[in-house]
Amino acid sequence: MLGAFRPTNVNLGGLLWKTPWRLSTTRKANQRARLKKVDAVIEAVRASGVQCAALERALELPKEHEMPARDKYTIFSANSRGYRKGIHKVPKWTRLTLRTNPKGF
């Protein structure tokens, strides 16, 4: 088809935003740094002496160095094969606390 309305490569290529099935080394390092920054904020709030329910829940979460790699980079998913999927497949995964999984996973 010729003319102004001919299909382009982007239109024929499927999804424009493709998500890799595996996290890259750089994205893993950024995830570890993000977890460490959250741990530092929780520790600073605890050291300040503030008492609240949100702080109590945050102190129950595992710290970055206590988490296995499987929990840092994957999350439980009942619909996925093997019941796990990459953490980067979760919408807004950089803003959510995804440190805990159901028992046994």
Contact 74, 86 (CB under 8 A): yes
The answer to whether residue 71 sits within a structural domain is: yes
pLDDT, tens only, 32-59: 999 999 999 999 999 999 999 999 999 9
The answer to whether residue 82 sits within a structural domain is: yes
* Prediction pTM value: 0.79
The answer to whether residue 5 sits within a structural domain is: no
What whole-number distance in Å separates Cα of residue 92 and Cα of residue 103? 24
Cα-to-chain-centroid distance, residue 27: 10
The answer to whether residue 83 sits within a structural domain is: yes
What whole-number distance in Å separates Cα of residue 91 and Cα of residue 29? 19
Look at the chain and report how many structural domains it folds into.
1
The answer to whether residue 48 sits within a structural domain is: yes
Contact 102, 76 (CB under 8 A): yes
The answer to whether residue 100 sits within a structural domain is: no
Domain carrying residue 48: 25-89
Which one, of 39, 83, 87, 45, lies nearest residue 63 by Cα?
39
